[in-house]
Amino acid sequence: MEALTAIGLIANIIQFVDLGAKLVGSAKEMRDSASGMTVEDKSLEEVTIEMRDLTLRLEAPKTRASSQDERALRLLAQECRELSDQILRLLKKIAPSKPNSTLRSIRSAIRTIKYKDEMRELEEKLAKCRSQLHLHLSRLTKSVIVKLTRIALF
């Protein structure tokens, strides 16, 4: 029984050291970067901003959607924008308030680990939303092309 306890203790120590190494690495990367974010978080922020901006353009509130496909596209765009906003709020919450501060970078690295599952879940939802948005845009584009072809033939 003592051997199993020793193995369990060693496994816990290894996990602790691994977590510590990840924290130190992330904190150093945040402190050294101009934005105060890791490369991964900065990339996610840029992609999310692009997605949010695209969905804002798709939500033209002044014009009325003429077809069911357009209404579905606008609803989907709204959902994607809301997910984008959630991700951007979470990234802002995680980012250090003073990018060059070692202590703030360590705190930020801890928050990154704390919110890792929530961030992954939001990223997955946004990816699904993006693929659905692509499908709807393709379908809508195809119907417009078919209509234009019919008009050109007459």
Rounded CA separation 120/125 (Å): 9
Compare 61 and 152 and report the one with higher pLDDT: 152
| Greater model confidence, 111 or 6 | 111
Q: Give residue 22's pLDDT.
A: 78
pTM: 0.76
pLDDT value for 1? 58
Condensed to tens digits (0 to 9), the pLDDT of residues 34-66 reads 777 888 888 889 999 999 998 888 776 556 656
Among 37-41, 46-50, 77-81, 115-119, name the one with the lowest average pLDDT: 37-41
Give me the mean pLDDT over the 25-37 stretch: 77
- Please tell me what DSSP assigns to residue 99: T
Mean pLDDT of 76-83: 92
Number of domains in the chain: 1
pLDDT of 80: 93
Residue 54 in tokens: 């695209």
| Enclosing domain of residue 54 | 2-153
Query: Contact at 8 Å (CB) between 132 and 61?
Result: no
Confidence of residue 32 (pLDDT cuts 50, 70, 90): confident
